[in-house]
A and B are shown apart, each in its own frame.
Chain A
Amino acid sequence: ILNVEQSPQSLHVQEGDSTNFTCSFPSSNFYALHWYRWETAKSPEALFVMTLNGDEKKKGRISATLNTKEGYSYLYIKGSQPEDSATYLCACRSGGTSYGKLTFGQGTILTVHP
């Protein structure tokens, strides 16, 4: 059974603060790590897909790193804005016969206060 854990469960920050969340996953049989941004009643929006140990990706003020050997990924948001408020989901794709499916963590709910 693949367990993906995210921390913290929720986070409240002030506008302009920088913040980061963690996603932990089993390092064995790892294939890919996905980050999504999800606002309720909308489609989860793909942020990053990472596969290689040491990968770092950036999209505007958001960036992510990946450590496949120890089984974790960090998502960073620099200078948080109220519009960044959302649930941030990470999901792991493992190898094997079911390597199409994603296993999700519970998500980190971010609230950015003006």
Chain B
Amino acid sequence: EAGVTQFPSHSVIEKGQTVTLRCDPISGHDNLYWYRRVMGKEIKFLLHFVKESKQDESGMPNNRFLAERTGGTYSTLKVQPAELEDSGVYFCASSQFRGGNTEAFFGQGTRLTVV
């Protein structure tokens, strides 16, 4: 069974440009999460989808970030326009359930560098 896959693995863009990150969760996982790790700091929650609905977007830094999950399958995270402080590793995770001892499976991350 395929794990969580993210594309691209690396992206280098200039400040002011737009970047779209993609996440394909494990098939059948209704819960999809986006996280970000800025260098030297902890991995931080961005938002949580249940199927196509945003359950919790409390971690989204500002309105330059837009996440979608049309059809409840894959998700995209768009940053427009990108700023230098957006650099970091963006992780996607998925889980079948969201409570109890449910395991969350992570993708390998997209390393975004804004120059």
Binds A, one of B38-46, B62-70, B77-85: B38-46
Query: Is B98 in contact with A100, judged by CB distance below 8 angstroms?
Result: yes
Evaluate contact between B104 and A34: CB separation under 8 angstroms. Answer: yes
Q: Is the CB of B102 within 8 A of A43?
A: no
Q: Are A44 and B56 in contact (CB under 8 A)?
A: no
Q: Say whether B99 contacts A89, CB under 8 Å.
A: no
Q: Establish whether residues A100 and B108, one from each chain, have CB atoms under 8 Å apart when the complex forms.
A: no
B9 to chain A, nearest CB (A): 8
Chain A CB within 8 A of B109 CB: yes
- Most chain B Cβ neighbours within 10 Å, of A34, A51, A98, A102: A102
Chain B nearest Cβ from A54, distance in angstroms: 15
For chain A, give the interface size range: 20 to 34
Minimum CB distance partner of A42 in chain B? B108
Which residue on chain B has the smallest CB distance to residue A46? B103
Q: How far is the CB of B45 from chain A (nearest CB, A)?
A: 4
B33, A100: Cβ atoms under 8 Å?
yes
Cβ contact within 8 Å between A89 and B33: no
Given A101-B48, A105-B42, A106-B42, also A46-B105 (CB < 8 A):
yes
Considering the chains assembled together, what is the distance between the CA atoms of A85 and B56 in angstroms?
34
Among B104, B107, B111, chain A packs the most CB atoms within 10 A around the CB of B104
Residues of A within 8 A of B4 (CB): 43
* Given A89-B43, A98-B56, A101-B33, A49-B99 contact (CB < 8 Å): no
List the interface of chain B (C-beta within 8 A of A): 3-4, 9, 31, 33, 35, 41-45, 48, 50, 55-56, 58-59, 91, 93, 95, 98-109, 111
Give the interface of A toward B (CB within 8 A).
Answer: 4, 31-32, 34, 36, 41-44, 46, 49-51, 89, 91, 97-107
Please, could you name 10 A-B residue pairs with CB atoms under 8 Å apart, sorted by A?
A36-B106, A41-B111, A43-B3, A43-B109, A46-B106, A49-B102, A91-B43, A100-B48, A100-B99, A101-B45
